[in-house]
Amino acid sequence: GENVEQHPSTLSVQEGDSAVIKCTYSDSASNYFPWYKQELGKRPQLIIDIRSNVGEKKDQRIAVTLNKTAKHFSLHITETQPEDSAVYFCASNTGGFKTIFGAGTRLFVKA
């Protein structure tokens, strides 16, 4: 069945450094890849998404890249701040009605 692998499970960076989270999906029909940020006890919130006809997308300090051939996509956060500390989930949607989430990355940004 469909699967999304996410690495690392935990990431600790110094404030101002960059953070990179990587995901791999299995279903070649996947064509939409959202990223969610979840703070403790809160709802997942969409922070950026990318569709399969695009290789890269940027929104201020956040960027996402997609390599369809390798079935990899990555989240890049530059100039990290303490408020970026949260759990980040990648996800994959096959274009139908099913979204598969990765296991999550707990990001700690140390001041």
Partner 1 sequence: EPEVTQTPSHQVTQMGQEVILRCVPISNHLYFYWYRQILGQKVEFLVSFYNNEISEKSEIFDDQFSVERPDGSNFTLKIRSTKLEDSAMYFCASSGRGFNQPQHFGDGTRLSIL
The binding site for partner 1 (CB under 8 A) comprises: 31-32, 34, 36, 42-46, 49, 51, 89, 91, 93, 95-104
Strands 105-110 and 10-14: parallel
> What is the nearest approach in angstroms of partner 1 to the Cβ of residue 15?
25
Output 15 or 56, the one with its CB closest to partner 1: 56
Q: Dihedral, CA atoms, 64, 40, 98, 95, nearest 10 degrees?
A: -20
> What is the nearest approach in angstroms of partner 1 to the Cβ of residue 93?
6
Output 42 or 110, the one with its CB closest to partner 1: 42
> What is the nearest approach in angstroms of partner 1 to the Cβ of residue 16?
29
> What is the nearest approach in angstroms of partner 1 to the Cβ of residue 31?
7
Output 43 or 83, the one with its CB closest to partner 1: 43
- 41 Cβ neighbours under 8 A, 6+ residues apart: none
Output 45 or 81, the one with its CB closest to partner 1: 45
* Pairwise CA distance, residues 66 & 82, whole Å: 26
